[in-house]
Structure 1
Amino acid sequence: MTLGRSPAGMDAWVVSRPGPMATRPLERVRLPVPEPGPGEVLVEVEACAVCRTDLHLAEGDLPPRRPGTVPGHEVVGRVAGHGQGASRLPRGTRVGVAWLRSTCGRCRHCLRGAENLCPSSTYTGWDADGGYAGYLTAPEDYVHPLPQGPSAEKLAPLLCAGIIGYRALLRSDLPPGGRLGVYGFGASAHLTAQLAVAQGATVHVMTRSARARELALRLGAASAAEAAQAPPEPLDAAILFAPAGELVPVALEALDRGGTLAVAGIHLSDIPVLDYRRHLFQERTLRSVTANTRADARAYLELATGHPPEVTTVAYPFEAADRALADLAADRVEGAAVLLR
């Protein structure tokens, strides 16, 4: 490994005992700086956005894959070292580390360009330690170069909230100039809505937060209403960002004939019984969204850095990671929470 400096250790947050945030599932610890393996780079963390997936991991909705995992997969940092065979990104390069950490590259899903469905895929902050720390390692082929200019605080949410929203928008089959419904309006939704508006769509937002509804209107939504309220016109497509299964029939019923609902989350509460004629008949489609491909990430980051969206963030010091996650759980975050080092 090549390293610019050799720190003795690093502060990190780990999921020690998954459970409700009131039980304090995150624990601040001291860990050794990780050593990058073959093909990996060591990244010194500048910022890490706080994702609802981190909350699902901390609270146990997403079963931990290993004990004491460091969460975080929306990481902005700089290359600080290289493992054997890693040489594409020079030391000091500003990079982003996202959710998708590795795939096999050989299965039928990988070979047809659907690496997000690879049975052997691994994920940052779930299968391997993530960005709630001073450093992390990642396979160089899955690390994304980032521009020097924008602040780390504004770049970090692009690496999951932005990327997964972009894939969800693709999965929703929104036609040009179509009518899009957005259910829930947190980190991912507020970026996706801007992208859809920029592409000429009419966007209707349904969310329980009054502050989020105000933000949606300011960012260009045509309307903003309560989560279970019907939009003012039938929808060509909809995306469910809120992890609330009870909104699935609500969103399906709001679709026009031939419309598609894409469910963007990794976790969803139980979906109520669907009525075939009310919710699915007339060729309405219900789709899930699973992770993203590197091609998705590259395409979205190119769009977002060429025409930057307004990224609404709430900054937290690294020492307050547990408070940031608790605020997210209580819907006290407008936009995206971001940990800054």
Structure 2
Amino acid sequence: MIPVEMDAWVVARPGPVSTRPLRRVRVPVPAPGPGEVLVRVEACAVCRTDLHLAEGDLPPRRPRTTPGHEAVGRVAATGPSAGRLTPGTRVGVAWLRSTCGRCRYCARAAENLCPYSAYTGWHADGGYAEYLTVPEDFAYRLPEEVPAEKLAPLLCAGIVGYRALLRSDLPPGGRLGVYGFGASAHLTAQVAIAQGATVHVLTRSATARELALELGAASVGDAADPPPEPLDAAILFAPAGELVPVALAALDRGGTLAVAGIHLTDIPALNYRRHLFQERTLRSVTANTRADGREFLGIAAAHPLRVATTPYPLDAADEALAALAADRVEGAAVLLPGRFA
């Protein structure tokens, strides 16, 4: 039975977490439109992008949006012309919600750059709720045997981190620097290590440094420290522009720095000889394609990752977001509807 109303959180007024921009509300359960499915949420991970939306770093695309784009659940109902997924199917709902499928970017398999793309929890309501809708062509089938809490972070932290790893052009057996070590970084580092890389983690969090060593990092240090050897590639996960010159300076000749976040504070002036000369490359990462998602989820199924999570009941979503803002979360915070504080 699908209820008439549900619990959800909305961004009532963007601002610092201390002003409590999230509000808990009762709203109608959405009806799936053409080509869409209604998903009953089992778990939704909390992403730093949600924090940027709540605090206004990402301009809202619509008023009172429900955040959340790492949702695991089961199809509860299907809309007109939806037929690929049937009720009861376990699916994942990720950041990329739709693209036009016709522009030159979509035509060249770069749908993450589609000017008409829309995103879960930004253009449409997301998973900080008991139900959400998604176009079935943008939902991922998920395995039955893995707990929803452990699957949820894979849907953004994992997928976008994997694209960042691809964008870093890490050579086989190369030396990778990881700056910041939260939900995305701790998954990406495991993939790189499994592929034979030497990973050096640079982060201000002592707890994160301990986790990095447990997961197989060759070394750990503070975010501003130089790594113990030159890097073939680096990924910046922390939304701190001041770390861009730090990471570029740590690259060996021909190395690449990929910036993984959707938001970054201003980058200080770069010195050409120190930061870019000798063919060092600075790249951004913009969302992901569905092909990235399928490839990463296949890797995660073949080589199960240790997913560090901190569970929160859905009615404590504002507390989870505040903990993320204060760097008090190990791994990924995950909201669990049906669990009560």
- TM value normalised by structure 2: 0.98
Q: Secondary structure at the match of 1:195?
A: helix
> 1:203 and 2:203 equivalent?
no
Q: Deviations over 1:238-266 (max 9, x none)?
A: 00000000000000000000000000000
Once the two structures are superposed, the pairs formed by residues 211-290 of structure 1 within 5 Å of their partners are 211-290=207-286
Contact 2:112 2:286 in 1 (8 A): yes
Q: Secondary structure at the match of 1:138?
A: strand
Structure 2: which 5+ residue stretches go unaligned? none
Report the counterpart of residue 3 of structure 2 in structure 1: 7
Q: Deviations over 1:167-224 (max 9, x none)?
A: 0000000000000000000000000000000000000000000000000011000000
Distance (Å, rounded) in 2 between the aligned partners of 1:188 and 1:148 = 23
Distance (Å, rounded) in 1 between the aligned partners of 2:207 and 2:327 = 10
Which of 329, 333, 338 is the equivalent residue of 1:333?
A: 329
CA shift for structure 1 position 8: 1.7
Contact 2:36 2:134 in 1 (8 A): yes
CA shift for structure 1 position 6: 3.1
Report the counterpart of residue 52 of structure 2 in structure 1: 56
Q: Secondary structure at the match of 1:322?
A: helix
Report the counterpart of residue 155 of structure 2 in structure 1: 159
Report the counterpart of residue 64 of structure 2 in structure 1: 68
Distance (Å, rounded) in 2 between the aligned partners of 1:6 and 1:88 = 21
Report the counterpart of residue 309 of structure 2 in structure 1: 313
> 1:190 and 2:186 equivalent?
yes
Once the two structures are superposed, the pairs formed by residues 46-125 of structure 1 within 5 Å of their partners are 46-125=42-121
Q: Secondary structure at the match of 1:268?
A: coil
Distance (Å, rounded) in 2 between the aligned partners of 1:83 and 1:298 = 24
The residue identity in structure 2 corresponding to 1:285 is: T
Q: Secondary structure at the match of 2:193?
A: helix
The residue identity in structure 1 corresponding to 2:164 is: A
Q: Deviations over 1:31-67 (max 9, x none)?
A: 0000100000000000000000000000000111000
CA shift for structure 1 position 156: 0.2
Q: Deviations over 1:287-313 (max 9, x none)?
A: 000000000000000110221100000
The residue identity in structure 2 corresponding to 1:168 is: A
Contact 2:2 2:76 in 1 (8 A): no
Distance (Å, rounded) in 1 between the aligned partners of 2:133 and 2:161 = 25
Contact 2:94 2:120 in 1 (8 A): yes
Q: Secondary structure at the match of 2:212?
A: helix
Report the counterpart of residue 180 of structure 1 in structure 2: 176
Q: Deviations over 1:110-143 (max 9, x none)?
A: 0000000000000000000000001000000000
The residue identity in structure 1 corresponding to 2:27 is: L
Identity over the aligned pairs, expressed in percent?
80
The residue identity in structure 1 corresponding to 2:155 is: L
Distance (Å, rounded) in 1 between the aligned partners of 2:124 and 2:89 = 22
Contact 2:41 2:73 in 1 (8 A): yes
Q: Secondary structure at the match of 1:38?
A: coil
The residue identity in structure 1 corresponding to 2:316 is: A
Task: Report runs of 4+ in structure 1 exceeding 4 Å deviation.
Answer: none
> 1:45 and 2:37 equivalent?
no
Q: Secondary structure at the match of 1:262?
A: strand
The residue identity in structure 2 corresponding to 1:291 is: A
Q: Secondary structure at the match of 1:10?
A: strand
Contact 2:236 2:258 in 1 (8 A): yes
